[in-house]
Homo-oligomer: A and B are copies of this chain.
Amino acid sequence: MSAAARVGDPVDAIDTPALVLDLDAMDRNIARMAGFARQHGVRWRPHAKMHKCAALAQRLVAAGAVGACVQKTAEAEALAAGGVQNLYISNEVIAPAKLARVAQLARSLQQRGGRLALAVDSGEGVDRLAQALAGARDAIDVFVEIDVGQGRCGLAPGPDAVPLVQRIAGHAPLRFAGLQAYHGKAQHLRSADERRSAIAAVLQLVRDTLDACAQAGLAVPLVTGAGTGTMAHEATSGLYGELQPGSFLFMDADYAANEADPAQPAFEHALFVKSQVLSRSARHAVCDAGHKSHAIDSGLPLVHRPEGGPPWRYANGGDEHGVLHADADQPLPALGQAVWLIPGHCDPTVNLHDEIVGVRGGLVAGRVAELLRVDARGELR
Residues in chain A within 8 A of chain B (CB atoms): 1-2, 4, 15-18, 49, 71-72, 74, 77, 91-95, 97-98, 101, 121-122, 124-125, 147, 151-154, 156, 184, 276-281, 284, 286, 288-289, 291-293, 295-297, 316-321, 323, 335-336, 347-348, 351-354, 377-381
Distance from A40 Cβ to chain B, minimum over Cβ atoms (Å): 27
Q: Is B291 a contact of A348 with CB atoms below 8 Å? A: yes
Q: Is B381 a contact of A18 with CB atoms below 8 Å? A: yes
- Known contacts being A95-B336, A98-B15, is A280 close to B380, with CB within 8 Å? no
Query: Contact partner of A293 among B4, B152, B380, CB < 8 A?
Result: B380
Distance from A225 Cβ to chain B, minimum over Cβ atoms (Å): 15
| Distance in angstroms between the alpha carbons of A206 and B286 in the assembled complex | 22
Closest to A124 in B: B335
- Known contacts being A72-B320, A153-B321, A279-B121, is A95 close to B15, with CB within 8 Å? yes
B contact residues around A153 at 8 Å (CB): 278-279, 286, 321
B contact residues around A320 at 8 Å (CB): 49, 71-72, 91
5 contacts between A and B (CB under 8 A): A2-B101, A92-B279, A94-B277, A124-B335, A153-B321
Distance from A69 Cβ to chain B, minimum over Cβ atoms (Å): 12
Q: Is B17 a contact of A380 with CB atoms below 8 Å? A: yes
| Distance in angstroms between the alpha carbons of A263 and B381 in the assembled complex | 42
Distance from A257 Cβ to chain B, minimum over Cβ atoms (Å): 17
Query: Contact partner of A95 among B152, B276, B286, CB < 8 A?
Result: B276
Distance from A60 Cβ to chain B, minimum over Cβ atoms (Å): 20
Using A18-B381, A156-B281 as known contacts, list a sample of 19 further A-B pairs with CB atoms less than 8 Å apart, ordered by residue number in A: A2-B77, A72-B320, A92-B279, A94-B277, A94-B278, A94-B335, A95-B276, A122-B280, A124-B335, A124-B336, A147-B281, A152-B279, A152-B286, A152-B318, A153-B279, A154-B279, A297-B319, A351-B352, A353-B378
Q: Is B280 a contact of A291 with CB atoms below 8 Å? A: no
| Distance in angstroms between the alpha carbons of A251 and B91 in the assembled complex | 32
Chain A at the B interface: SS class: loop
Distance from A343 Cβ to chain B, minimum over Cβ atoms (Å): 13
Q: Is A347 a contact of B319 with CB atoms below 8 Å? A: yes
Query: Contact partner of A378 among B1, B152, B284, CB < 8 A?
Result: B1
Closest to A3 in B: B381
Q: Is B17 a contact of A335 with CB atoms below 8 Å? A: no
- Known contacts being A153-B321, A278-B93, is A4 close to B292, with CB within 8 Å? no
- Known contacts being A97-B15, A121-B279, A296-B297, is A1 close to B336, with CB within 8 Å? no
Q: Is B152 a contact of A317 with CB atoms below 8 Å? A: yes
Q: Is A1 a contact of B379 with CB atoms below 8 Å? A: yes
| Distance in angstroms between the alpha carbons of A288 and B93 in the assembled complex | 9
| Distance in angstroms between the alpha carbons of A286 and B155 in the assembled complex | 12
Q: Is B379 a contact of A94 with CB atoms below 8 Å? A: no
B contact residues around A277 at 8 Å (CB): 94
| Distance in angstroms between the alpha carbons of A295 and B351 in the assembled complex | 12
B contact residues around A323 at 8 Å (CB): 151-152
B contact residues around A291 at 8 Å (CB): 295, 297, 348
- Known contacts being A2-B74, A94-B276, A98-B15, is A348 close to B292, with CB within 8 Å? yes
| Distance in angstroms between the alpha carbons of A279 and B122 in the assembled complex | 7
B contact residues around A380 at 8 Å (CB): 17-18, 288-289, 292-293, 352-353
| Distance in angstroms between the alpha carbons of A91 and B296 in the assembled complex | 22
Distance from A255 Cβ to chain B, minimum over Cβ atoms (Å): 15
